């Protein structure tokens, strides 16, 4: 995983917590200082600010657990903004529903529905804003200052290779930088380019310095299997990340899914992009249309 992604994914946790505290306090102050002029406050004696702050701390941890369960702290992928907002909306709703159920089952007197609904609304608003700020900071530090970037070597020379190189160069905020591009090299050439002393002595050629490569991405679908094994071993020995594009990727680049059985990776080729709820929705539309 890229260092920048790791850092900013970890940073999202305390930022979310701060935003949740701010959302709770904003709700309380809005109700007691602004809306109180229109509707009297009935809970100021049994729920003062200090006691309310303790409740906000507890509820904030419930929200964080809901966020974690929904995958908002996943280290695997960078979510798109809309997907992230939907997860915040759903998990915040689940968390506030748990709070409402607790209030109902405990039969405690709670005189302000605004604190509950307002806290839910501002939590979604503030957390979404906080994550936008983190994204903005990440784009600035990664794109402009190369913070936590991964320098990659691309091995291959086809349409997929060119597409990956163009995407990396056109999106500096992705955190990747193309340090080397070799079309169809021998493993010894890759070792020499990365800076393997043994390969350097074997080739007896000049060496211009290690370009600081962190990852090797194999995009050549016809690279011999024996060379792939040798390349993987070399990457493991030198603590390099090894990634590859499967051969089947050239036949279908959109409708696929990744699964595993007992730790073995499986790539499923789909006849259509419709799957899961999409298939259910299509079937429901078909039935309604037929009726």
Under-50 pLDDT residues of the chain? 197-210
| Residue whose C-alpha is closest to residue 273's, from 291, 255, 286 | 255
Cβ contact 212:151 at 8 Å: yes
On whether the CB atoms of residues 154 and 181 are closer than 8 A, the answer is yes
d(CA 75, CA 10): 9
pLDDT of residue 268: 62
| In contact, 148 and 3? CB cutoff 8 Å | yes
Measured from the Cβ of residue 62, the count of other Cβ atoms closer than 10 Å reads 16
Q: What is the pTM of this model?
A: 0.69
Helices 113-145, 81-106: axis angle to 10 degrees equals 150
Any bridge partners for residue 129, and if so which? none
The pLDDT, as a whole number, for residue 204 is 40
Q: Which helix (H) or strand (E) holds 75?
A: none
Is 122 in contact with 20 (CB distance < 8 Å)? no
pLDDT of residue 45: 52
Please state, in angstroms and as integers, the Cα–Cα distance from residue 107 to each residue in 101, 102, 104, 119, 223, following that order: 10, 8, 5, 20, 68
Instruction: Identify which of 39, 78, 51, 283 has the alpha carbon closest to the alpha carbon of residue 171.
Output: 78
Q: From the CB of residue 56, how many other CB atoms can be counted at a distance below 10 Å?
A: 20
Burial class (CB in 10 A: 0-12, 13-18, 19+), 20: buried
DSSP assigned state of 33:
I
Please give the Cα distance from 289 to 291 (Å, whole number): 5
Q: Where are the beta strands (DSSP E) in 94-230?
A: 150-155, 176-182, 215-218
Predicted local confidence at residue 199, as pLDDT: 44
Cα–Cα dist 200/197, whole Å: 5
d(CA 196, CA 190): 9
Q: How far apart are CA 234 and CA 118, in angstroms?
A: 56
């Amino acid at each position: 995983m890229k260092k920048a992604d790791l850092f900013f994914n970890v940073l999202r946790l305390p930022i979310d917590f701060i935003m949740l505290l701010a959302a709770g306090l904003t709700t309380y102050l809005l109700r007691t200082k602004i809306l109180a002029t229109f509707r009297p406050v009935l809970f100021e004696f049994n729920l003062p600010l200090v006691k309310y702050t303790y409740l906000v701390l507890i509820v904030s941890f419930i929200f964080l657990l809901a966020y974690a369960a929904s995958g908002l702290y996943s280290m695997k992928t960078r979510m798109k903004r809309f997907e992230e907002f939907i997860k915040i909306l759903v998990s915040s709703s689940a968390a506030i529903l748990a709070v409402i159920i607790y209030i109902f089952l405990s039969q405690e007197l709670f005189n302000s529905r605004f604190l509950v609904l307002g806290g839910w609304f501002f939590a979604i608003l503030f957390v979404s804003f906080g994550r936008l700020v983190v994204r903005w900071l990440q784009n600035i530090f990664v794109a402009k200052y190369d913070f936590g970037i991964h320098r990659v070597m691309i091995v291959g020379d086809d349409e997929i290779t060119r597409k990956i190189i163009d995407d990396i160069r056109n999106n500096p905020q992705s955190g990747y930088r193309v340090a080397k591009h070799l079309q169809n090299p021998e493993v010894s050439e890759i070792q020499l380019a990365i800076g393997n002393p043994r390969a350097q002595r074997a080739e007896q050629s000049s060496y211009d310095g290690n370009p600081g490569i962190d990852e090797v991405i194999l995009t050549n679908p016809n690279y011999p299997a024996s060379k792939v094994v040798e390349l993987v071993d070399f990457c493991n020995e030198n603590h390099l990340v090894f990634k590859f594009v499967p051969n089947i990727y050239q036949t279908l680049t959109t409708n696929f899914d990744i699964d595993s059985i007992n730790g073995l990776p499986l790539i499923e080729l789909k006849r259509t992009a419709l799957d899961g709820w999409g298939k259910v929705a299509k079937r429901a539309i078909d039935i309604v249309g037929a009726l």
